[in-house]
Amino acid sequence: MKFFVDTADVAEIRDLADTGLLDGVTTNPSLIAKSGGDFIEVLKEICSVVAGPVSAEVTATDADGMVAEGKKLAKIADNVTIKVPLTWDGLKACRAISQHGTKVNVTLCFSANQALLAAKAGASFISPFVGRLDDIGHDGMELIAEIKTIYDNYAHIDTEILVASIRTPMHVKQAAMIGADVATVPPDVLRKLANHSLTDKGLAAFLADWQKTGQAIL
């Protein structure tokens, strides 16, 4: 499974990219606003740091406006992916933008039927929001399993399942077990994937034993 980070904090992205574990970035207007930087300039910098897809979201709500904004955003860098909402206009824009050879991430997906429409519209990625479904008493991971089953039924569908609104490491594990293609996670959740109390305990014991020897490697 590929890991994208869901942030517009360039310093965080640089730090995570240095691990070699980062495959892409997802952003949205809210995240860009939190960064405090200019929308276009922040996206340019992110695209220069990460070689993989960088999702840049349109703000128009009509299809023509989305396409126009998508064309402008696509000029920022070759690895820009245009993010559009899962509305009728968004699906129209997805079709038009994808036919021009630009990747499209269809976001705000909350049902398997929506995911099927996005695939038919030519989406490169579909972004189901598992955390927000959990918030209203639904099982977000059940949606991921449904989409996976539907997509696997049709060999011609190459839309990647990009699990979004991830809140915990458990969400990441469940997404991987289902077979999702991508998990986009906040930086703190990505770092938590490496944490385990027994790892910390074991390392502390090894270091204590090493200190007793009085030796040094360097």
Q: Please say if 83 is a catalytic residue.
A: yes
Within the chain, where are the H helices? 10-17, 29-35, 39-49, 63-74, 88-99, 112-120, 130-135, 140-152, 169-178, 187-192, 197-213
Q: Give the pLDDT confidence of 130-154 residue by residue, as tens digits.
A: 999 999 999 999 999 999 999 999 9
Active-site residue, from 34, 44, 75, 83: 83
Residue 35 has a pLDDT of 85
Residue 28 has pLDDT above 90, yes or no: no
Q: Letter for the amino acid at 142? A: E
Residue 18 has a pLDDT of 94
Q: Which tokens sit at 134?
A: 């959990």
Average pLDDT over residues 123-133: 98
Residue 34 has a pLDDT of 85
